[in-house]
Amino acid sequence: MKPEILMLRGLLPRQTAQLDERYAGHRLDLAEDREAMLREVAGRVTSILTSGELTCDAALMDRLPKLELVACFGVGVDGVDLDYCKARGIAVSNTPDVLTDDVADLAMGLTIATMRRIVAADRFVRAGAWQNGPLPLSTRLAGKTMGILGLGRIGKAIARRAEAHGMSIVWHGRSAQSDVAWHRYPDLEEMAGAVDLLMVACPGGPATRGLVNRAVLGAMKPKSFLVNISRGSVIDEPAMVEALVEGRIAGAGLDVFADEPNVPAPLNDLETVVLTPHIGSATEETRDAMAQLVVDNLDAHYAGRPLLTPWRFA
């Protein structure tokens, strides 16, 4: 008998073929009648396949008495009720490391695109506006300070790239790191007031919800920028939109939003904002590596081997 997996999303064709060979996957996201599917398979399912930003909550997991593993496609596990998993002894795996470079590249891409107004410049040329004179001047990166909220693997990869562009790095995170030379601000608001660009790179989830609040945004200088490649939930989105619309901050590069795929309408009208549809890890190479890691974790679990990339509960 093949182990049965409740799938809240699919994988790429190469890994779907591997799954089909060894497992019976039930695509809840494609089910016409989700309730009927759940009733049918709940008693047999031993794993859930999900993404960090999808909801895998207690209500769902409560219905799966044999659940052993939640395998996440993505580094973020904020959609999973981790307290519940810990209490029930359900293992969780994610896909760290393989996506670090891509997410950091996008963070720098958004930084450059926003500060140098690359997207606005592209629109300017296409609209034929160049014939009427030059585009207004933009902002230099070199010599500026980037304040990184969350200095994990991705935060550090962004820091290295930003340094290569001549930027200075400071950071804020819950705990000090003895092997890090960059200055740490214990207070986020203070850091926000001191930097030219606030880079949001911390995990999502209850611990960071609304961390970049009205006060933090209010502390930022009118000439400073905001980039978010983490989760929309980390920023008070209405307060951010207000600050951008009123020009209280200079601009923002945003890959993630509070209610994806919905983006606050006022952002669409702002030339100072660059918007991307949650594509931090969205390259062929990285998505292939992420999907393979999901399958490899499932394989390890069902072979009785340790998970390759287990989530370490606090």
Footprint of ligand 8YV on residues 67-86 (CB under 6 A)?
73-76
Closest CB 52 distance from ligand 8YV, rounded Å? 4
3-state secondary structure of 16: helix
Q: Which of 161, 231, 287, 301 is catalytic?
A: 231
For residue 26, indicate whether it is catalytic. Answer: no
For residue 165, indicate whether it is catalytic. Answer: no
Q: Which is nearer to ligand 8YV, 47 or 100 (CB)?
A: 100
Q: Does 99 bind ligand 8YV (CB under 6 A)?
A: yes
Q: Which is nearer to ligand 8YV, 239 or 294 (CB)?
A: 294
The angle subtended at Cα 140 by Cα 182 and Cα 266, nearest 5°, is 95
Q: Give the count of alpha carbons within 13 A of 182, CB side only.
A: 26
- 244/226 Cα distance (integer angstroms): 10
Q: Which of 260, 271, 285, 305 is catalytic?
A: 260
Q: Contact at 8 Å (CB) between 86 and 65?
A: no
- 224/244 Cα distance (integer angstroms): 11
Closest CB 54 distance from ligand 8YV, rounded Å? 8
Q: Does 53 bind ligand 8YV (CB under 6 A)?
A: yes
Q: Does 228 bind ligand 8YV (CB under 6 A)?
A: no
Q: DSSP string of 211-242?
A: -B-HHHHHHS-TT-EEEE-S-GGGB-HHHHHH
Closest CB 96 distance from ligand 8YV, rounded Å? 8
- 249/229 Cα distance (integer angstroms): 18
Q: Contact at 8 Å (CB) between 194 and 170?
A: yes
Which residue in 11, 26, 47, 52 binds ligand 8YV (CB under 6 A)? 52
Which residue in 46, 51, 93, 233 binds ligand 8YV (CB under 6 A)? 51
For residue 260, indicate whether it is catalytic. Answer: yes
Which residue in 281, 293, 295, 297 binds ligand 8YV (CB under 6 A)? 281
- 221/174 Cα distance (integer angstroms): 23
Which residues in this chain contact ligand 8YV in the complex, by CB under 6 A?
51-53, 73-76, 99, 278, 280-281
Catalytic residues: 231, 260, 278
